[in-house]
Amino acid sequence: MIVRNDDILLKDGTSDKDLKIYEIYIQRIKYEGDLFWSRFKIFFGFNSGVLIILGYIIQPHLTPNCFDFTKCILITIFLLSLVGFSFSVIWLKSIQDGKHWILFFNSLLSNIEMEIFKNKKYAMYFQITEDYNKQKIKKDVMDLGIYVSDGFIIIWIFFISISGCAIVL
């Protein structure tokens, strides 16, 4: 809970209602961060699990000379890859949406902080937003989630292409 100290930190006219709104937004951005991390763990775990299943299916059919897959195995690989691809695209979209909302709340909180604090050195989200906007290439930890989901999309496209071509030929 935020403790008032009007003489040092807060601008004149800052009400308890303003502080309560600020506190609610702080809680919301923490919740968005938790959601972001939860989504990452769920989708990463699911994609990794499908890759493990795929490896388990493929491993007995690898021979020193070449790959020895039956049509049934190729269709299974193709279908599992489609499932993995679908979930990776959903993962990418959910990460992009989460990043949008986190950046939105950072900006909103920085505006609120400028309205309630006397000195901007106390405005943490203002500093975060200002530092982020100063970067020429805007990179943050959320981009790591985007890169990982992009990596899985590439893996699934590879498996879809290889198994799809092998089925047709």
Quote the domain boundaries for residue 27: 16-168
Q: Residue 73 is encoded by which pair of tokens?
A: 């195995």
d(CA 107, CA 84): 34
Measured CA angle at 55 (ends 53, 57), to 5 deg: 70
Q: What is the mean pLDDT of the chain?
A: 87
d(CA 68, CA 166): 11
Within-domain flag for 10 = no
Within-domain flag for 53 = yes
Within-domain flag for 60 = yes
Within-domain flag for 40 = yes
CB 79 within 8 A of CB 106: no
pLDDT at 27: 93
What average pLDDT does range 83-103 have in this prediction? Answer: 94
pLDDT band at 165; cut points 50, 70, 90: very high
Which string of DSSP letters, residue by residue, matches 89-130? HHHHHHHHHHHHHHHHHHHHHHHHHHHHBSSGGG-HHHHHHH
Within-domain flag for 93 = yes
Within-domain flag for 109 = yes
5 or 130, which is more confident: 130
CA distances from residue 31 to 36, 128, 157 in whole angstroms, order as listed: 9, 18, 33
Within-domain flag for 8 = no
pLDDT band at 160; cut points 50, 70, 90: very high
What average pLDDT does range 91-105 have in this prediction? Answer: 91
Residue type, 22: Y
Which candidate, 34, 155, 142, 27, places its Cα nearest to that of 89? 155
Left if phi > 0, otherwise alpha if psi is -120 to 50, otherwise beta: which for 13?
A: left
Domain count across the chain: 1
Within-domain flag for 41 = yes
